[in-house]
């Protein structure tokens, strides 16, 4: 899980507009914590609420993204890209969704095809925010490198000029684990 508070432009472009955006990426282990051992899900929700993210990229949410958004507060919406394995949840008082989509990453593993969700928001400050969320395969380093190149392609295709680009996900970067 990665949690961050970013002053958007001062960190990413060296110019400050005073716009803050609370970010979080969280693997929900939905197959377990929201499925076979659902008693764990309230702990997941508590962790998210404690962080208070404006923008949340979740992985392994397994179709529980709307339940998650409802459980963490009344100011959250889900980007409905038709994909249930990972999702983007955002605070509607801070971000306005303008566009979104889903792109296939060509590499896959025993759990099937992998995708990246892309979104285009406008922050309440007027700043453009483009968020990409994914869950890469559990595979060898060469395959992960190809997936990383594909992520770069997707970001290039859907990033707007002048936007802040955010990439969240479970990148499964641990050499040798695929064996």
Query: pLDDT tens digits for 108-153?
Result: 888 888 899 999 999 999 999 999 999 998 888 888 899 999 999 9
The three-state secondary structure class of 88 is strand
- In sequence order, the β-bridge partners of residue 88 are 57
Measured in whole angstroms, the distance separating CA 149 from the mean position of its chain's CA atoms is 18
Confidence (pLDDT) at 15: 42
Lowest mean pLDDT among 12-21, 68-77, 113-122, 139-148: 12-21
Q: Which of 114, 111, 118, 106 is nearest to 146 (CA)?
A: 106
Query: pLDDT tens digits for 22-65?
Result: 999 999 988 888 888 888 999 999 999 999 999 999 999 999 99
Give the residue-averaged pLDDT of 82-89: 91
Q: Which two tokens stand for residue 126?
A: 């007027």
């Amino acid at each position: 899980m990665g949690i961050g508070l970013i002053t958007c432009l001062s960190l990413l472009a060296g110019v400050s507009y005073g716009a803050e955006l609370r970010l979080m990426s969280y693997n929900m282990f939905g197959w377990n914590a929201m499925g076979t051992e659902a008693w764990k899900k309230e702990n997941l929700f508590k962790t998210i609420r404690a962080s208070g993210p404006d923008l949340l990229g979740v992985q392994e949410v397994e179709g529980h993204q709307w339940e998650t958004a409802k459980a963490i507060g009344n100011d959250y919406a889900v980007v409905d890209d038709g994909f249930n394995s990972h999702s983007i949840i955002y605070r509607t008082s801070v971000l306005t969704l303008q566009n979104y989509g889903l792109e296939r990453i060509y590499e896959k593993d025993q759990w099937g095809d992998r995708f990246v969700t892309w979104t285009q928001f406008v922050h309440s400050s007027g700043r453009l925010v483009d968020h990409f969320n994914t869950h890469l395969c559990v595979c060898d380093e060469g395959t992960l490198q190809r997936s990383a190149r594909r992520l770069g392609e997707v970001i290039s295709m859907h990033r707007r000029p002048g936007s802040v680009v955010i990439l969240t996900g479970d990148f499964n970067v641990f050499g040798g684990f695929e064996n």
